[in-house]
């Protein structure tokens, strides 16, 4: 309705930590529409699409849990899908006492847990750290505490690109191609399924073995 304010995404704890002060927190973004996925022939919510027997989001969360880092998951509020900027702002506001944030889209199901730990260990005097794999920028991007005010002010669909530009990014070379393998389309999902099948990680295999997957 015209003039009606749009509810912001909600930030919910999925891992309880006694104190997030001076810690790096993973913000898992799970409020997107997945419009490209639907346009490519996919059905239903992209993050709930099955990939070798588990949802895309659950595979992403498996890496987050295995990392041992505290984390927040940001979902759509009251059935309304706000933009990525709104989601980032909601997650950072909910963890405002953190020393840094890893902003992780929920559609990176092949990401490794050790990648999250390596990014979390990057020097905090670097305001923005961007993982780079074979020359390609990936996710999650790590923001240190001084960026918090700007992250909380984000709105709309553009994400945190303006914050990266304002503070300047440090490239962080990694070998985990899961950083750059996001599920945007049905074809991406099918390609990820083939990667898992080729590596022997089909339904019924040990999920923890996924963390050792190397995408060719």
Question: Would you say residue 205 lies in a domain?
Answer: no
pLDDT tens for each residue of 43-53: 888 999 999 99
Question: Would you say residue 81 lies in a domain?
Answer: yes
Question: Would you say residue 213 lies in a domain?
Answer: no
Mean pLDDT of 19-33: 82
The residue ranking higher by pLDDT, 16 or 99, is: 99
Residue 208 has pLDDT above 60, yes or no: no
Neighbours of 14 (CB within 10 A): 14
How far apart CA 145 and CA 110 sit, in angstroms, is 27
Buried (b) or exposed (e) across 181-215, using 16+ Cβ within 10 A? Answer: bbbbbbebbeebeebbeebebeeeeeeeebbebeb
Neighbours of 18 (CB within 10 A): 6
How far apart CA 29 and CA 21 sit, in angstroms, is 21
Question: Would you say residue 152 lies in a domain?
Answer: yes
Residue 150 has pLDDT above 90, yes or no: yes
Count of structural domains within the chain = 1
Question: Would you say residue 207 lies in a domain?
Answer: no
Residue 81 has pLDDT above 70, yes or no: no
The residue ranking higher by pLDDT, 80 or 43, is: 43
Question: Would you say residue 206 lies in a domain?
Answer: no
pLDDT computed for residue 90 by the predictor:
92
Residue 99, both tokens: 């020393």
Question: Would you say residue 133 lies in a domain?
Answer: yes
Q: CB of 24 within 8 A of CB of 98?
A: yes
pLDDT computed for residue 131 by the predictor:
97
pLDDT computed for residue 4 by the predictor:
41
How far apart CA 119 and CA 101 sit, in angstroms, is 10
Question: Would you say residue 215 lies in a domain?
Answer: no
Domain that holds residue 61: 10-200
At 30, which CATH number? 3.90.550.10
How far apart CA 163 and CA 20 sit, in angstroms, is 23
Most confident of 15-29, 134-148, 197-211: 134-148
pLDDT computed for residue 19 by the predictor:
55
The DSSP secondary structure of 130-160, one letter per residue, reads EEEETTEE-SPEEEEGGGHHHHHT--SSSTT
């Amino acid at each position: 309705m015209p003039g009606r304010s749009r509810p912001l995404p909600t930030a919910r704890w999925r891992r309880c930590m006694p104190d997030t002060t001076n810690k790096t927190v993973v913000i898992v973004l799970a409020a997107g529409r997945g419009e490209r996925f639907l346009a490519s022939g996919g059905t239903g919510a992209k993050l709930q699409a099955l990939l070798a027997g588990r949802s895309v989001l659950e595979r992403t969360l498996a890496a987050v849990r295995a990392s041992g880092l505290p984390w927040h998951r940001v979902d759509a509020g009251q059935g309304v899908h706000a933009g990525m900027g709104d989601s980032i702002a909601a997650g950072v506001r909910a963890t405002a006492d953190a020393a840094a944030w890893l902003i992780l889209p929920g559609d990176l199901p092949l990401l490794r847990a050790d990648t999250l730990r390596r990014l979390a260990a990057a020097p905090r005097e670097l305001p923005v750290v961007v993982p780079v794999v074979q020359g390609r920028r990936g996710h999650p991007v790590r923001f240190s505490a001084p960026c918090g005010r700007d992250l909380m002010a984000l709105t709309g669909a553009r994400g945190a690109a303006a914050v990266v530009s304002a503070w300047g990014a440090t490239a962080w070379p990694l070998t985990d191609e899961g950083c750059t393998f996001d599920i945007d389309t049905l074809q991406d999902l099918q390609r990820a399924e083939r990667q898992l099948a080729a590596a022997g990680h089909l339904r019924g295999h040990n999920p923890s073995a996924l963390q050792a997957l190397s995408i060719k």
